[in-house]
Structure 1
Amino acid sequence: MTIIVIGKSGQLAWELAQLSTPSQAIVCLGRDDVDLQNVSALVNILKQYDAEGVINASAYTAVDKAESDIENAYLLNTKAVGHIAQACKHLDVPFVHISTDFVFHGDKGLPYSPGDAINPLGVYGMSKAQGEQLIADIYPQRSAIIRTSWVYSTHGNNFVKTMLNLMATKPELGVISDQIGTPTYAKGLAKACIASITQQVIGVHHYTDTGVASWFDFAVAIQNIALELGLLDKKIAIKPITTAQYPTPAKRPHYSVLDKASFINALPELSLMHWQEQLTHMMTALKNEREA
């Protein structure tokens, strides 16, 4: 079985590549390998690899930059998604697309279910929401949309690695405490994507690790685990701040915890872990990489 991953440089694509086996090859294709704005090119490359499933791990994820780089955000998060859906439909192969908690406004105050009304706050969320709609319009028969949040990995740039760098160089940090969600280790998300292809899950679902956190909670946990593992040698003060104290070009949902019940029902064999447990796994792997 060959599964094609659209995306090569991102942290999810990297984690997916680590799951490749002789019996289940996972091939990651980057922008130099395929033109996402050309449906015929997509069809041809999927045929070339005799693809039996496609996972779209590519996205324009620079949330603040998207507010001014609108055209490029929509090219990758909307138009390209529609083209991938068309190619998959042409070849009748299952398609898994990764979306985001940013399609929600963040004012519900309870975990969002897949069927809840979407109401994005900015260009990133709107472009991702329109990508979802194209899949629903073009190829609902064999497509799964998996919304996730706060993704991190040992690979690439993410909140965990940024915090570790700042904690090693700054005397103190202020971290936002009034945005609530759930961190997600990309390694677990990658396994969920593969399971969705092999079990032919369809529809809109949510996947994150379990539990709830603010960015402040997340940062405190990162420091505590890093000190235990020896990734940091000193403790610094981490102070909670409000969103208003740290203005950004893009608005972010204040509460975007995702309800995972439908995904657990679709894949009961999938074991979910608390975000702090997954964070420990990731940071242990990071330590091992640095020591290797």
Structure 2
Amino acid sequence: MQILIIGKTGQLGKSIQEVAANVLYSKHGFTFVGRDEIDFSNNVNISTYFECNSFDVIVNCAAYTQVDRAEEQQELANQINHLAVGQLADIAQQSNTKLIHISTDYVFDGNATNSYIELDVPNPINAYAKTKLLGEQAVQNAMSSNALIVRSSWIYSQYGNNFVDTMLRLAQGRDELKIVSDQISTPTYAADLAITILHIINSKDFIKDFTTTTYHYSNIGQCSWYEFVKAIFAICKIKLNIVPITTDEYPTPAKRPLYTVLSKSKIITTFRITIPSWQSSLKTCLKARGCGKKWIK
């Protein structure tokens, strides 16, 4: 199959590119594009690209992900996360192309006490999350079949700017960090998500037609940002005083949901996958790169 990955410079796009080099996926042809090739802020650019190129599968990793800035840049966030995604889904539908679209745990309001399943009703509480939900709905409206929406949470990797990168940089020259302890979810190692996406594409069920549906994917387990930072610093042997604080003590332009743990039962059962714990994947990510040395600027 000919597979297009949109978002080649992002964490997930780069991780898919690394995983795709495995011989398991040598029967496929991969094309990786970024903003230079497909600019989601420009509808004409999107149409022009697909007038000249066709694929069997599109994986959309591109998104506007600056949660706080989205409160001020709602029009741009909506264009990239909603309108462009709708246009992409229309193109996929018209060309009989399968689509995998990446979404977020933030579509939920965080008021649950148990992990969210795919059938739980979304209720986004910030502008970024609202645009991501609209993007999901645009896919569902355009494609009644052959589209998968994959929600994930707290994605990190060795690539680009992410929470792990930020914490390792902040640790330099400081004696203390205050970290929010009442927001609970699950860190997701981008390489694990990349492996799962390519496993799905390789599966027999993906080759035939299927009803459009949603899956949840993150690593196994749950933690707060505070617990996540403690684990990062423990693995990297960074000695620093980490002070737990509440969300109310750390006000941000965009409101954050307090609990967005995702249930992975559906994707595990459907595609017969094993998902690592967030702790083991964090160790894999950090230790493979010298306990964060590549992150430290």
Kept after mapping to 1: 8 A contact 2:101/2:149? yes
2:19 pairs with 1:19:
yes
Q: Residue 224 and residue 262 in structure 1: after superposition, are their counterparts in 2 closer, same or farther (change >3 A)?
A: same
Kept after mapping to 2: 8 A contact 1:180/1:214? yes
* CA shift for structure 1 position 184: 0.2
Q: Residue 205 and residue 256 in structure 1: after superposition, are their counterparts in 2 closer, same or farther (change >3 A)?
A: same
2:282 pairs with 1:276:
no
The DSSP-based 3-state class of the residue aligned with 1:141 is: coil
What's 1:97 paired with?
A: 101
The DSSP-based 3-state class of the residue aligned with 2:191 is: helix
What's 1:226 paired with?
A: 236
The DSSP-based 3-state class of the residue aligned with 1:3 is: strand
Kept after mapping to 2: 8 A contact 1:103/1:129? yes
2:287 pairs with 1:287:
no
Kept after mapping to 2: 8 A contact 1:146/1:206? yes
How do 1:1-292 and structure 2 match up within 5 A?
1-21=1-21, 22-36=26-40, 37-38=43-44, 40-47=47-54, 51-199=55-203, 200=206, 202-227=212-237, 232=238, 235-268=239-272, 270-287=273-290, 290=293
Measure, in 2, the Cα distance between the counterparts of 1:150 and 1:13: 15
Measure, in 1, the Cα distance between the counterparts of 2:85 and 2:144: 13
Equivalent position amino acid for 1:44 in 2: E
* CA shift for structure 1 position 281: 0.3
Q: Bigger CA drift: 87-96 or 116-125?
A: 87-96
The DSSP-based 3-state class of the residue aligned with 1:286 is: coil
1:59-90 C-alpha deviation (Å, 9 max, x unpaired): 00000000000010001000111111111112
The DSSP-based 3-state class of the residue aligned with 1:19 is: helix
Give TM-score scaled by structure 2 length: 0.90
Measure, in 1, the Cα distance between the counterparts of 2:49 and 2:122: 29
Measure, in 1, the Cα distance between the counterparts of 2:111 and 2:197: 28
The DSSP-based 3-state class of the residue aligned with 1:55 is: strand
Kept after mapping to 2: 8 A contact 1:111/1:259? yes
Q: How many residues align?
A: 281
Identity of aligned residues (%): 38
* CA shift for structure 1 position 31: 1.4
Measure, in 2, the Cα distance between the counterparts of 1:197 and 1:16: 12
Measure, in 2, the Cα distance between the counterparts of 1:41 and 1:11: 26
* CA shift for structure 1 position 20: 2.6
1:2-45 C-alpha deviation (Å, 9 max, x unpaired): 21011121100110111234432332111111244235324324
Equivalent position amino acid for 1:3 in 2: I
Measure, in 2, the Cα distance between the counterparts of 1:290 and 1:169: 15
* CA shift for structure 1 position 290: 4.8
* CA shift for structure 1 position 197: 2.6
Kept after mapping to 2: 8 A contact 1:16/1:26? no
Q: Residue 35 and residue 242 in structure 1: after superposition, are their counterparts in 2 closer, same or farther (change >3 A)?
A: closer
Equivalent position amino acid for 1:220 in 2: K
Equivalent position amino acid for 2:50 in 1: V
Measure, in 2, the Cα distance between the counterparts of 1:145 and 1:4: 16
Give TM-score scaled by structure 1 length: 0.92
The DSSP-based 3-state class of the residue aligned with 1:89 is: helix
Kept after mapping to 1: 8 A contact 2:37/2:49? no
Kept after mapping to 2: 8 A contact 1:206/1:263? yes
Q: Bigger CA drift: 179-188 or 83-92?
A: 83-92
Measure, in 1, the Cα distance between the counterparts of 2:284 and 2:173: 24
Q: Residue 20 and residue 28 in structure 1: after superposition, are their counterparts in 2 closer, same or farther (change >3 A)?
A: same
Q: Residue 43 and residue 259 in structure 1: after superposition, are their counterparts in 2 closer, same or farther (change >3 A)?
A: same
Long gaps (5+) in structure 2: none
Q: Bigger CA drift: 142-151 or 86-95?
A: 86-95
Equivalent position amino acid for 1:107 in 2: N
